[in-house]
A and B are shown apart, each in its own frame.
Chain A
Amino acid sequence: MSESRLTDSKINSDLLAPVNKPGRGWYATVTVSALVVAAALGALVYQFSNGLGVWGINRPVFWALDITNFVFWIGISHAGTLISAILRVTGAEWRRPVTRCAEAITVFALMIGALFPIIHLGKPQLFYWMVPYPSERGLWPNFRSPLMWDFFAINTYLLGSIIYLYLPLIPDLALLRDKSSGLFRRLYGALSLGWRGTQLQWDRLERAVRVMAVIIIPVAVSVHTIVSWDFAMTIRPMWHSTMFGPYFVAGAIFSGIAALILAMAVIRRVFRLEAYLRPVHFNNLGLLLLTMSLIWFYFTFSEYLTSWYGNAPEEMSVFRSKISGPYASMFWASVICCFVIPAPILAIKRLRTIKGCMIASALVVIGMWLERFLIIVPTLVQPRLTFNWGAYRPTWVEITLTAGTFGYFVLLYALFTRLFPIIAVWEYKEGLPLGEHGEPTVVDLTDAELERA
């Protein structure tokens, strides 16, 4: 139980501190992530000057780490908007300090994921050729292609997520406007659209956020279902599966929650937000992560058992390469990281601490990246006709680009926390149980009391 009592000014100063005085941890994070991004940019320039031949891809593996990263980051994007929307729709009160951390993850993860199909084009400057419209260039926009579905789904989700992040940010932008001066005052003033906090504005904002939450849930589910159909709509071994949609969605939510827990733990530590991001939030998200770990294991088991039981030769070659062949070490590492270690940590209450949740989440993120790789590469390496089998080994360019995605994500996230409050100030104040400023608040309650509230 905290001794301090929260007043409006204390909440403002605590939650705006990352914007006003980011601290040494923030500068260290930005410096390291910027260096990683610079290395990735160097690799990208090298690739653009020398062509896609500098990657390890070759016949029959035309997509490898780039589509692994694409699927992985689109999956991570399910951390935010979807989880935030579900928590809002269900009225989960503990969501309040969590939602913005989550929504920001979605936007940045989507931005990074959506880069990869463009990078992979070979001539990325012509990416706009993918935009479907009655063609003057004689191109035929094939609306039956899952890649075209991706184009619409990802763009809808990205735009929807940006708006869903922005709407509840408006009152906090007005707060920043009132607390800043000079150029920043003008910037926040423009972004806050003249918000005054009238009861009419609050009413309309809450309505709009509720409507958005309802719309965005099916969109989020559709996005990863469509990403899974990039694979499932082909007749490749171990891809052509009716359960790929839900399997991908479950995996996406799984990795998304893990990323959210990691982000929250870092934010809590770097910005000293222990009073706001409390053990109860990690406990609840840890339970969600445990649920998704069990669901992921169930889906994986069902998928692999069905392939094994069917015993189709082309399926079995891919199956064996994962279970006991060249990809076995990655496969078992993925199972260990996604289920064997995290499940007990998250299931045993004594281990489900902030540190326990962090360890489990870090393992899940690693395991899910491996899982995405294992879905894609072994099937591409071993197509149905054996004369066409090949091999794949990533080059330094692909590895640097992959590391760069993580650096870029951290950099974007860090810059976001420098410009905007990472915990929604007004939502947090609104959630104070007694609703009275200066009275006992969330911080004064024990975790058990908060859970009951």
Chain B
Amino acid sequence: METQLLVFDTREEAVAALRELERDGVDASAITVMSSEPLHLEHDGSTAGAAGASRAKSRISGYGIAGGVIGATLAILLTVLTSKSVGIITGGMPIVSPWAFGIIVFEMCALGAILVTLGRMIYESGLLTRTTAESYDDAVSDGKIVVAVCLAEEGLGD
């Protein structure tokens, strides 16, 4: 397997090249489009270009909700268990105050959602992996659109 980087000046050129690759039967999963801004190629009807975005369904929102639930649960455990463990003498009055604790639960719910959303975004977008010369071209930063095609060596000649 070898990766070839194709550099285009404009979006039209890149879309035309993607259509050509599609016609040649290159699998969408073998194509990665890189740019200095979101291109939203799905609007051009290019399945190869859009493939990068839609290859896997995003679960960021779902994970964000799950993070909120985890944060809220931890907050309940922190406030209730901590208050009960101190053993303060209250003369039979309740030590757990749901209304007051609810504020802390709300904040930690939000914190959990934020942290898990960040983690999931990093995971889904494949960040924290090393950028190699084969998989990236600095021309992206100059506004060029770079199409990386990963093919078996015999296919590259075509």
Question: B39 touching A199 by the CB < 8 A rule?
Answer: yes
- Give a binary string over A428-442; 1 marks a CB under 8 Å from any B CB, 0 the rest: 011000011100000
Known: A135-B86, A159-B111, A167-B118. A194 touches B100 (CB 8 A): no
Contact B55 A200 (CB under 8 A): yes
With most chain B CB atoms within 10 A of its CB, the pick from A149, A155, A179 is: A149
Q: List chain B residues, Cβ under 8 A from A153.
A: 103, 107
Q: Interface code B93-124, partner A: CB below 8 Å = 1, 0 otherwise?
A: 00001001101101110110111011011101
CB distance from B59 to the nearest CB of A (A): 10
Q: Report B-chain residues with C-beta under 8 Å of the C-beta of A195.
A: 127, 131
A140 located at the interface, meaning its Cβ lies under 8 Å from any Cβ of chain B in the complex: yes
Measured in the bound complex, the distance between the Cα atoms of B110 and A386 in whole Å is: 44
Count of CB-CB pairs between chains A and B under 8 Å: 189
Residues of B within 8 A of A206 (CB): 38
Interchain CA distance A284-B35 in the complex, whole Å: 31
CB within 8 Å of B: which of A140-191? 140-141, 143-144, 148-149, 152-153, 155-156, 159-160, 163, 167, 170-171, 174-175, 178-179, 189
Which of B101, B108, B121 neighbours the largest number of chain A CB atoms within 10 Å of its CB? B121
Bound CA span A178–B141, Å: 7
Q: Which of B103, B117, B122 contacts A149 (CB 8 A)?
A: B103
Residue with the greatest number of chain B CB neighbours at <10 A, chosen from A133, A135, A204: A204
The stretch of A18-26, A215-223, A331-339, A368-376 in contact with B is A215-223
The minimal Cβ–Cβ distance linking B55 to chain A, given in whole angstroms, is: 7
A194 touches B114 (CB 8 A): no
- Verify if B82 is at the interface (C-beta below 8 Å from A): yes
- Once the chains are docked, how many angstroms separate the CA of A133 from the CA of B114? 22
Question: Is there contact, CB below 8 Å, between A202 and B38?
Answer: yes
Q: Does B140 contact A (CB under 8 A)?
A: yes
Question: Interface-forming stretch among B19-27, B46-54, B150-158?
Answer: B46-54
The 3 A-B pairs with the shortest beta carbon distances in the complex, nearest first, are: A8-B143, A208-B121, A199-B52
The listed residue with most A CB atoms (<10 A of its CB), out of B106, B120, B135, is B106
B139 to chain A, nearest CB (A): 9
Chain B residue numbers with a CB within 8 Å of A8 are 36, 142-143
- Report yes or no: A197 in contact with B140, Cβ–Cβ below 8 A: yes
B69 vs chain A, min Cβ distance (A): 13
A148-B104, A198-B33 known; A204+B52 contact, CB < 8 A: no
8 Å CB contact of A212 from B82, B117, B125, B142: B117
Q: Are A140 and B86 CB-contacts (below 8 A) given A159-B111, A200-B125?
A: yes
Of A135, A144, A197, which contacts B36 at CB under 8 A? A197
B88 at the interface (CB under 8 A from A): yes
Chain A nearest CB, measured from B89 CB (Å): 11
Q: B55 contacts which chain A residues (CB < 8 A)?
A: 200
Binary flags per residue of A408-450, CB closer than 8 Å to B gives 1, else 0: 0000000000000000011001100001110000000000000
Contact of A194 among B49, B58, B110, B131 (CB under 8 A): B131
A175-B141, A203-B58, A208-B117 as given contacts; A197 in contact with B64, CB under 8 Å:
no
B97, A144: Cβ atoms closer than 8 Å: yes
Task: Assess whether A430 is in contact with B118, with CB atoms less than 8 Å apart.
Answer: no
**List of B residues within 8 angstroms of A179 by Cβ:** 141
Known: A196-B34, A196-B135, A207-B60. A144 touches B114 (CB 8 A): no
* Interface check A226, CB cutoff 8 A: yes
Q: Tell me whether A58 is interfacial, beta carbon within 8 Å.
A: no
Beyond A174-B141, A195-B127, 7 additional pairs, beta carbon < 8 A: A8-B142, A141-B86, A148-B104, A196-B131, A207-B121, A226-B103, A430-B38
Contact A426 B111 (CB under 8 A): no
Complex contacts, B85 vs chain A, CB 8 Å? 134
A50 within 8 A of B: no
Q: Nearest B residue to A144 by beta-carbon distance?
A: B100
Contact of A429 among B36, B52, B54, B86 (CB under 8 A): B36
The reply on A205 being an interface residue by CB < 8 A is yes
- CB proximity of A208 to chain B, nearest CB, Å: 4
Which residues from A are CB-within-8-Å of B118?
Answer: 163, 167, 208, 212
Q: Please determine whether B37 and A211 come into contact, CB atoms closer than 8 angstroms.
A: no
Interface string of B48-82 (1 = CB under 8 A from A): 01101111101011001000100000000011011
A101 to B85, CA, bound (A): 45
Give CA–CA (A391, B29) in the complex, Å.
Answer: 74
| Complex Cα gap A15–B148 (Å) | 28
B104 A152 Cβ-Cβ under 8 A: yes
Q: Are A199 and B127 in contact, with the CB atoms below 8 A?
A: no
Contacts of A171 in B (CB 8 A): 36-37
> In the complex, how many angstroms separate the beta carbon of A354 from the nearest chain B beta carbon?
28
